[in-house]
Amino acid sequence: MHGRLAFPDVCRISNLPMIFNHPEYDAHEQILHVCDAEAGLRAIVAIHRSRDTIAAGGVRFRPYPTDDDALTDVLRLSRAMTYKNVLADLPLGGAKSVILGDPARDKNPALLRAFGRVLERLGGQYMCGPDIGTTADDMDVISEETPHVGATNQQMGSSGPPTALGVFHGVRALAAHLGYGTELRGLHVAIQGAGAVGSDLARHLVEAGARVTIADVDVQAVETVREQVNVAVVSPDEILSIEADILSPCALGGILDEHTIPSLEVRGICGGANNQLREESDAERLRARGIAIVPDFVASAGGVIAGTAAAGLYPQAEMPGKLEGIYDRALAILGQATADGATPHEVAHRMAARMLGES
Ligand code: PHE
C-alpha cells in the first residue's frame, strides 16, 4: 500500500452518491460540500467553469427533499451560470451555491457569516450574489466576512429590477421573431410569478402597451402588483394553460415538462426563472409544438450583468449595453434555431461552447 491512501471501508460502499458519474456533473471544476455544525450551515458550492478568472453566480437558500435534489439543482444551476455569463459577454465563469434549509426558519446572521467565511477561504474564485431565498440584506451579512459578494445594498440593492429589464428585452426580441414587430401594443403576456422580477416585468410591459395576465401562489404579491399596474389576475393553476401570445415564467424552474407543454396556448416563452425546462428533451417538445423559447440563461442575465458591474468586476459604463445586448443575443439565437430546424437551447449551447473554446 506504499504511496497510496488507504481508504476506510466506508468509501467502498457502492451506493455512495456518485459525483464524477452524476448525470449533471458536466466536468465541474470544483464541488464543495460544506458543513459548519456550530452555525447550522449545510451548503454546496459548485464551480462549473472559472475561465481563469472569477466564477459568478447566486446563492439559493431552500429546503430540498433529498441531498441529491440539492446536488442536482446546484450542478444544473451553475452550468447554466456559465452559459448565462458567457452569452451575456461577461468576462466571468459560472458557479452557484445552495444552502440547504428553510430560509424562513433557518436563516440567521451566524449561518450567513459562516457561508461568507467559506467564500473567503475560496479566495475569490467564486463571487456570490442573491438568488431564490436570499436578498441584498443577506449579501450585506455575507460581506462582513468576505469581499467576494455582489449585489449588496451598498452596491446595488435588489437584482430584481435589472433582471426584469433584461427579460423585457428578451420578450421584445421574441415578439419581433414571432412577427409582431417591435411594437408591443396589444401583445398579451402571461406572467407566472409576481415576485421582484415578475412584478417589475409587468410594469415594463404595460408601459409598452402590452396586456398582462399574472399569477402567483402568494396572493398578497399579486394584490400588490394589481394595485400598481393594470393587470388581469388568474389562479396559479391556470397561468400555464391560458391563451396568450407569450408566457413568461418568473417563478421557480422545472415548470416546462411532458405534462405542461401539451396544454400551453402560447406562441413563445421568455422568462426570468432559471432552468425552466424539467429536462433537456423538453426543448424538443416545445419545438415540435411550434413554440419558440428564449433560453432562460439568456433572458435572465440582467441580475448578474448589473450585479457584477456594481461589484466592480467589469466597467460600469459597459453595463447598459450588455443589458440591451440580451435583445440581440435572443434574436440571433431564435433566428438561427429556425434556420437550422434546431431548438434555441441547442443553438445557445453550441454558441456558448464555441465562446468557451469547448467545441
Ligand atoms: N441569481 C443570479 C442569477 O441567477 C446571480 C447573480 C449573481 C445576481 C451576482 C446578482 C449578482 O443570474
pLDDT in tens, 237-261: 999 999 999 999 999 899 999 999 9
- Close Cβ partners of 257 (under 8 Å, ≥ 6 residues apart): 277, 278, 279, 282
Q: Are 253 and 274 in contact (CB under 8 A)?
A: yes
Instruction: List C-alpha distances in Å: 121 to 51, 101, 124, 125.
Output: 19, 22, 8, 9
* pLDDT confidence band for 4 (50 / 70 / 90): very low
Q: Is the pLDDT of residue 68 over 60?
A: yes
Q: Is the pLDDT of residue 166 over 80?
A: yes
Q: Which residues are catalytic?
A: 96
pLDDT for the residue 30: 96
User: Ligand 1 pocket, 131 CB below 6 A?
Assistant: yes
CA 58 / ligand 1 centre spacing (Å): 4
* pLDDT confidence band for 279 (50 / 70 / 90): very high
All 3 cell numbers of residue 347? 443553438
Strands of 55-62's sheet, edge to edge? 30-36, 41-49, 93-100, 55-62, 126-130
pLDDT for the residue 308: 96
pLDDT for the residue 153: 95
> Rounded to the nearest 10 degrees, how much is the dihedral formed by the CA atoms of 169, 172, 178, 179?
-140
CA 316 / ligand 1 centre spacing (Å): 16
According to DSSP, residue 11 is labeled G
Exposure string for 4-28, b = 16+ CB within 10 A, e = fewer: eeeeeeeeeeeeeeeeeeeeebeeb
Task: Pick the closest to residue 32 from 107, 99, 113 (CA basis).
Answer: 99
Task: Pick the closest to residue 251 from 231, 227, 275, 229 (CA basis).
Answer: 275
Cell 423585457, located at residue: 168
Tell me the pLDDT tens digit for each residue of 87-127. Answer: 999 999 999 999 999 999 999 999 999 999 999 999 999 99
**pLDDT (mean) for 38-55:** 96
* pLDDT confidence band for 16 (50 / 70 / 90): low
* pLDDT confidence band for 10 (50 / 70 / 90): very low
Round to whole Å and give the CA distance between 114 and 134.
15
How far does the chain reach from its first CA to its final CA, in angstroms?
40
**pLDDT (mean) for 20-35:** 93
Cell 429536462, located at residue: 279
User: Ligand 1 pocket, 58 CB below 6 A?
Assistant: yes
How are beta strands 41-49 and 30-36 bridged, if at all?
antiparallel
Average pLDDT, the chain: 94
User: Ligand 1 pocket, 308 CB below 6 A?
Assistant: yes
User: Ligand 1 pocket, 344 CB below 6 A?
Assistant: no
Global pTM?
Answer: 0.92
**pLDDT (mean) for 167-186:** 95
Q: Which atom of ligand 1 is nearest to the CA of 300?
A: 12
pLDDT for the residue 8: 47
pLDDT for the residue 12: 46
Q: Which atom of ligand 1 is nearest to the CA of 132?
A: 1
What is the residue type of 195? G
**pLDDT (mean) for 333-359:** 96
Round to whole Å and give the CA distance between 222 and 204.
16
Round to whole Å and give the CA distance between 241 and 255.
12
According to DSSP, residue 149 is labeled B
Q: Is the pLDDT of residue 183 over 90?
A: no
Percent of the chain scored above 70 by pLDDT? 95
pLDDT for the residue 20: 84
Round to whole Å and give the CA distance between 249 and 259.
16
The H or E element that residue 31 is part of is: strand 30-36
* Partners of 35 in the β-ladder: 42
H-state helical runs in the chain? 67-87, 103-106, 109-122, 136-142, 160-177, 196-207, 219-228, 282-288, 296-299, 302-310, 319-340, 344-356
Tell me the pLDDT tens digit for each residue of 311-345. Answer: 999 999 999 999 999 999 999 999 999 999 999 99
Task: Pick the closest to residue 297 from 107, 166, 136 (CA basis).
Answer: 166
CA-closest residue to ligand 1 atom 12: 304
pLDDT for the residue 15: 55
**pLDDT (mean) for 257-268:** 98
User: Ligand 1 pocket, 57 CB below 6 A?
Assistant: yes
CA 145 / ligand 1 centre spacing (Å): 19
**pLDDT (mean) for 24-42:** 95
Round to whole Å and give the CA distance between 299 and 84.
9
User: Ligand 1 pocket, 274 CB below 6 A?
Assistant: yes
pLDDT for the residue 34: 95
